[in-house]
Every structure is written in structure tokens, then in C-alpha cells.
Amino acid sequence: MAREYAKSLDRLINEFQKMPGIGPKSAQRLAFYIMSITLPEAAELSDAIKEAREKLKPCSVCFNITDIDPCFVCGDKMRDQSVICVVSEPKDMIAIEKTREFKGLYHVLGGVLSPLNGVGPETLRIKELLNRLRDGQIKELIIGTNPTTEGEATAMYLTKLIKPLGIKITRIASGLPIGSDMDYADEMTLARAFEGRREL
Ligand SMILES: [Zn+2]
């Protein structure tokens, strides 16, 4: 095969191509973008990647991505300590925080149940969630998984598991996938979905 790229360009394209949603064309575009920035800017970028990777870790309470432990939400005693919103990924939590509608705590599952992909209850942070529910402080659990088949299955599984504990379980109004790239209008819709949550 003919050599198409300089070796370091090839390496850079390869690295970008490992990222989610980045195909060969986007990887090439990003690599050429890197070639267009200054050396200090490039150093800033590689530094940001290194620092994020070194400093960010899951919160030991809610599993949000954080550089302080517990994270800013778990550490905020002004927040409502009697309600937990369960989400699939940290980005869902960020989306909900942006609405400013919710003042309680979170629990990040780290995915949704997906037996076909080998994701069972033991893969998710369900055991950790149950541990948080044991001290009796939590009065309501809001299930904020996405309205996909897997998100619904996860909501159902959690309901069956937790309902016997006597905790009120609600589901945010369906129809809205959270955590995607949301503009302001979507934030409003998500805020309404929160207000319109129904009891399971
Ligand atoms: Zn936390």
C-alpha cells in the first residue's frame, strides 16, 4: 500500500479515529486542524488531556466525574438530601443541572441494562445505589434514564428492586432523550419533563 501520510500525521489520525463518533474523514479533519494551531496551543491541548485524565475520577458517592471527592453536588449540604435522581451517564446529570430544576442528589449508573451487550445489573452501580438508600434518608427516587428500550427496562428493573423499600419512585416524563447536545429549548423541555414526572 502506498504511504499516504507522514508518519506523525498518520499517528495523530489513528488516535482521533479511536474516539467515539469519529470516522476516518473527521479524524483527518481534526489532524489537519492540529497542524493549523501554534505549538503553545498544541501543548495546551495535550496538557488539558493529560490533566483531565490524571485528575478526574468518579465521585465515591454518586459516580459523577469529578476532580474533588465527594463531588460538588454530593458535597453541597444545601441540596435536598431526601431525593436522588438516577441517570445513566455523567452527561445526563450535566444536562439536568443545566435546567436548574432539580436541587436533589444524583446517582450515575454507568450505563443501562443491556443483556445482549453483556450489561447486567452487576455491571451497573446498582449495589452502590441500594447502599445509599439503606439509611432511610431518601424519600424519593427519580428515574432519569433515557426513554429507549434499554432505559425503560432499567427503570422497570430498579422499580421492582426498590419499591419494596417503601421509597417513592418517579419517572421523568418520557419522550425526551437527555444528555444529548442540548440547546436552550431542550433544557426547557427537560425542565418540564422533570416537573411532569409520574409515580411508578
Ligand atoms: Zn457525587
Question: Rounded to the nearest whole angstrom, what is the distance from the C-alpha of residue 112 to the centroid of ligand 1?
Answer: 19
At residue 110, does pLDDT exceed 70?
yes
H or E element that contains 190: helix 184-195
What's the confidence (pLDDT) of residue 172?
86
Residues with CB under 5 A from ligand 1 (ion): 59, 61-62, 64, 70-71, 74
89 close to 108: Cβ distance less than 8 angstroms = yes
What's the confidence (pLDDT) of residue 183?
56
Question: Rounded to the nearest whole angstrom, what is the distance from the C-alpha of residue 65 to the centroid of ligand 1?
Answer: 8
The count of residues in the chain is 200
Question: Rounded to the nearest whole angstrom, what is the distance from the C-alpha of residue 38 to the centroid of ligand 1?
Answer: 37
H or E element that contains 28: helix 24-36
What's the confidence (pLDDT) of residue 148?
85
CA 125 to chain CA centroid, nearest Å:
13
Question: Rounded to the nearest whole angstrom, what is the distance from the C-alpha of residue 105 to the centroid of ligand 1?
Answer: 8
Q: Is the pTM of this model over 0.85?
A: no
Q: Report how far residue 75's alpha carbon sits from residue 64's, in angstroms, rounded to the nearest whole number.
A: 12
**What's the pLDDT band for 184 if we cut at 50, 70, 90?**
low
Question: Rounded to the nearest whole angstrom, what is the distance from the C-alpha of residue 173 to the centroid of ligand 1?
Answer: 24
Amino acid letter at 44? E
Other C-beta atoms lying within 10 Å of the C-beta of residue 43: 11
At residue 181, does pLDDT exceed 60?
no
Q: What is the mean pLDDT of residues 7-27?
A: 94
Reading the block at residue 162, the C-alpha cell is 426498590
Q: Report how far residue 158's alpha carbon sits from residue 99's, in angstroms, rounded to the nearest whole number.
A: 25
What's the confidence (pLDDT) of residue 182?
54
Q: What is the mean pLDDT of residues 174-182?
A: 61
**What's the pLDDT band for 194 if we cut at 50, 70, 90?**
confident
Question: Rounded to the nearest whole angstrom, what is the distance from the C-alpha of residue 18 to the centroid of ligand 1?
Answer: 29
24 close to 31: Cβ distance less than 8 angstroms = no
Q: Report how far residue 184's alpha carbon sits from residue 93's, in angstroms, rounded to the nearest whole number.
A: 16
What is the per-residue pLDDT across 32-56, written as a single tens digit (0 to 9) for each? Answer: 999 999 999 999 999 999 999 999 9
Reading the block at residue 172, the C-alpha cell is 421523568
What's the confidence (pLDDT) of residue 95?
87
Question: Rounded to the nearest whole angstrom, what is the distance from the C-alpha of residue 64 to the centroid of ligand 1?
Answer: 5
Give whole-number Cα distances, 194 to 90, 171, 173, 197, in Å.
Answer: 17, 8, 7, 5
Q: What is the mean pLDDT of residues 62-90?
A: 95
At residue 185, does pLDDT exceed 80?
no
